[in-house]
Amino acid sequence: MKTIYPLFYITILEIGKLEIEDGLSIEYKEIINEIIIMIKNILEYLLLSGIDVVLYILRPLYILMIILGIIKYSISGLSPRSRNILSGGILLAIFTEFILPMLLNFLIK
């Protein structure tokens, strides 16, 4: 199963593996491990849902910026504003389609 942050995941699981010196230590350990796994699954789901929402917003945004930059360029020539809008849309598209998925694959292993 993929984890969000391996160091965070290892730390959480190490906390769940604490030894309790009484007769119920195995039951405590199992309950703690189940709670930690449930929390980890909820956090992974929330992170992936949040990333989907961000991508849902960014894709139409960079398309709109590129279209507006092209319209502004066709109306007024290559003014600094049309150049900034166009370059911002292209940079946002590169970030959304190439850099963000690479970061996600690096973080979620």
Q: ∠ at Cα 84 (83, 87), nearest 5°?
A: 80
Read off the pLDDT of residues 37-91 as tens digits, 9 standing for 90 and up.
899 889 888 888 888 888 889 999 999 999 999 999 888 887 888 889 999 999 9
Give the span between the Cα atoms of 87 and 47, in whole angstroms.
29
Exposed / middle / buried, residue 39 (Cβ in 10 Å: 0-12, 13-18, 19+)? exposed
> What distance, in Å, lies between the first and last C-alpha atoms of the chain?
8
Report yes or no on whether pTM surpasses 0.95: no
